[in-house]
Chain A
Amino acid sequence: MAAGKKTVPEIIWEFVSSVKLAVIVILSLAACLATATVLESLYDTPTARYYVYGTGLFYGVLGFLAVNIICSALSRWPWKKSHIPFLLAHVGIVTLLVGAYITARYGLDGNLRVAEGESNAAVEIDTPLLVLTEGGKVNTIPVKWVPPDASFKPIDVRDYGLPYDLIVREFITHADSDFNFVERSGSAKALSPAPQPALHIKLIGGAMRIEQDFWLWAGDPGWAAYAAGPAWLELKRAASVSSIAPAAVAPPGSPTLTFDVAADGALSYAAKSSSGEKVSGRFSSSQLATLGKANASQLTIDPHWRGGVKIEIEKLIRDSWVNTSYKPSRAMYGDMAPPSAVHIFAGKGKDQADVWLGIGTRAVLRASGREIEIGYFRRQVILPFAVHLNRFDVKYYPGSNKPASYSSQVSVEGDSRSPALTQVISMNHPLYRDGIALYQASYEDAMPRPTVSIFSVNHDPGRTAKYAGSLLIVLGTILLFANKYRKRRTAAVTQ
Chain B
Amino acid sequence: MKKILLFLSLFVSILSASAFADTAPVPTSEMAPRHEGWSFSDFRAIPIQSGGRIKPLDSFAREAALFATGRRQFEGFDPADLLISWIAFPREWENHRFVKISRIDVRRELQLDESRVYFSPSELFNNFALLQYARNMDASAAGSETMSGKSDRGRKESPREQELGNVLSRLTLFRDIVAGNAWLVIPHADGPWVSLAGGGASAQPPAPAEDEAIRAHFVDLIKAYQAGDMAAFDRASSVARAAVESRVPDWDGHMARSLGLEVFYNRMHPFQFAWILYLAGALMWLVSPGKLLRLSKEQASSARVRRVLAGTLTSLAVICHVGGFLIRCYIAGRPPVTNMYESIIWVSFGVFAFAFILYLIQRLSITLIVASALSTVGLIAADSAPAMMDPGLHPLVPVLRDNFWLTIHVLTITLGYSAFALTLGLANVTLWNFFMIDRAGADASDAPVARARIQTLNQLTYRAMQFGVVLLAAGTILGGVWADYSWGRFWGWDPKEVWALIALLCYLAVLHGRMTSWIKPFAFAVWTVVAFSSVVMAWYGVNFVLGVGLHSYGFASGGTGYVVGGVGLQLAYVLVIALHHIWTSKMAMVAPKSAV
Interface residue ranges, A against B (CB under 8 Å): 18-20, 22-23, 26-27, 29-30, 33-34, 36-38, 40-41, 44-45, 48-49, 53, 100, 103, 109, 176, 208, 210, 212, 227-229, 329-331, 333-338, 396-400, 402-406, 427-428, 430, 437, 439, 441, 456-458, 460, 463, 466-467, 470, 473-474, 477-478, 481, 484-485
Contacts and interface: CB of A to CB of B under 8 A. Distances in A.
A176 B150 contact: yes
Interface residues of B, number: 68
B146 interface: yes
A467 B484 CA distance: 11
A22 B515 CA distance: 11
Contacts of B52: 396-400, 402, 404
B184 A399 contact: yes
A473 B513 CA distance: 19
B152 A20 contact: no
Contacts of A484: 466
Contacts of A53: 493
Contacts of A212: 146-147
B473 A473 contact: yes
21 contacts: A23-B509, A26-B512, A27-B506, A33-B499, A33-B502, A37-B499, A38-B546, A41-B495, A45-B493, A228-B146, A330-B151, A398-B49, A398-B54, A399-B52, A404-B52, A404-B401, A405-B401, A456-B489, A466-B480, A481-B469, A485-B463
Contacts of B150: 176, 329-331, 336, 338
Contact of A400 (B51, B506, B549): B51
A47 to B, nearest CB: 11
Interface string B486-521: 111111010100110110011011001101101000
Contact of A427 (B142, B193, B401): B401
A478 B470 contact: yes
B498 A336 contact: no
B547 interface: yes
A190 to B, nearest CB: 31
Centre residue among A44, A228, A427, A467 by max chain B CB count within 10 A: A427
B139 A208 contact: yes
Contacts of B231: none
Interface string B38-52: 000000000001111
B398 interface: yes
Contacts of A100: 490-491
B136 to A, nearest CB: 12
B551 to A, nearest CB: 12
B420 to A, nearest CB: 15
Nearest to A20: B516
A210 B516 contact: no
Nearest to B145: A229
Contacts of B518: 20, 23
B484 to A, nearest CB: 7
A34 B487 contact: no
A185 to B, nearest CB: 29
B380 to A, nearest CB: 29
Given A23-B512, A397-B395, 5 more contacts: A19-B515, A37-B502, A330-B150, A428-B402, A473-B473
A489 B515 CA distance: 19
Contacts of A330: 150-152
A400 B2 CA distance: 13
Contacts of A38: 546
A397 B53 contact: yes
B474 interface: yes
A37 B498 contact: yes
Given A26-B512, A109-B489, A329-B150, A405 B463 contact: no
Contact of B495 (A37, A428, A460, A474): A37
A208 B142 contact: yes
B253 interface: no
A120 to B, nearest CB: 17
B297 interface: no
Contact of A403 (B49, B398, B488, B515): B398
Nearest to B405: A428
Contacts of B138: 208
A441 B477 CA distance: 21
B254 interface: no
A458 B184 contact: no
Given A48-B493, A397-B53, A398-B192, A22 B401 contact: no
Interface string B365-409: 000000000000000000000000000000101110111000000
Contact of A474 (B474, B484, B505): B474
B153 A336 contact: yes
Interface in B519-545: 534, 542, 545
Contacts of A474: 470, 473-474, 477
A135 B225 CA distance: 86
B154 interface: yes
- 8 smallest CB-CB distances across A and B, nearest first, come from A336-B154, A397-B52, A458-B488, A399-B192, A334-B154, A41-B546, A400-B52, A481-B466
B480 to A, nearest CB: 7
A35 to B, nearest CB: 10
A492 B481 CA distance: 40
Contacts of A439: 486-488
Contacts of B506: 27, 30
B63 to A, nearest CB: 14
B490 A103 contact: yes
A129 to B, nearest CB: 22
Nearest to B485: A428
Interface string B42-84: 0000000111111000000000000000000000000000000
Contacts of A478: 470
A41 B548 contact: yes
Contacts of A40: 493, 495, 546, 548-549
B572 interface: no
Nearest to A441: B487
Contacts of A396: 52
A41 B154 CA distance: 13
Nearest to A27: B509
A337 B154 contact: yes
A333 B154 contact: yes
B508 A466 contact: no
